[in-house]
Amino acid sequence: MTRTRLYQRGFTMVAAIFLLVILAALGAFMLTFSSTQHLTSAQDIQGSRAYWAARAGLEWAISSVKTNSACPVAPSPFIVEGFSLAVSCASQVYDEDGASKTIYRITSVAKSGGDVGSLGYIERSVSVTVEL
């Protein structure tokens, strides 16, 4: 009876090591999954901030068009809340029942985070058409 006990004692050690390896792998997976969720959440917040920065550029351009009745020229480093803005405007004049009307097509693009394809790259674009 003592001989069989000596042979069975090694199995408990193998089972314990196997269980530790499985639990370590599960912990590593949960850590990776958690950090991915945090990164996705941060990118979602940055995307929302980029949208509102682009919207701010659009509102600035609309105000300039209404004030000056001409396409505005955006300042060269146009930065809002850490996002660089590119505001473009195109106008077209047409005749409506003898009255001259001008249509302005304004686009505002907010970017942040380096080059396209990099991990932190965020870009949002907003467009509007205004008739005066």
Domains contained in the chain, number: 1
Positive or negative: CA dihedral 31, 32, 35, 41: negative
Domain of residue 38, residue span: 2-131
Q: What is the predicted pLDDT for the residue at 6? A: 57
CA distances from 117 to 44, 56, 84, 111, 114 (A): 16, 25, 17, 12, 9
Sequential pLDDT tens for the chain (132 residues)? 555 555 566 777 888 889 999 999 998 888 887 877 888 888 889 899 999 999 999 999 999 999 988 888 888 778 888 899 999 999 999 888 888 899 999 999 999 877 777 778 899 999 999 988
3-state secondary structure of 128: strand
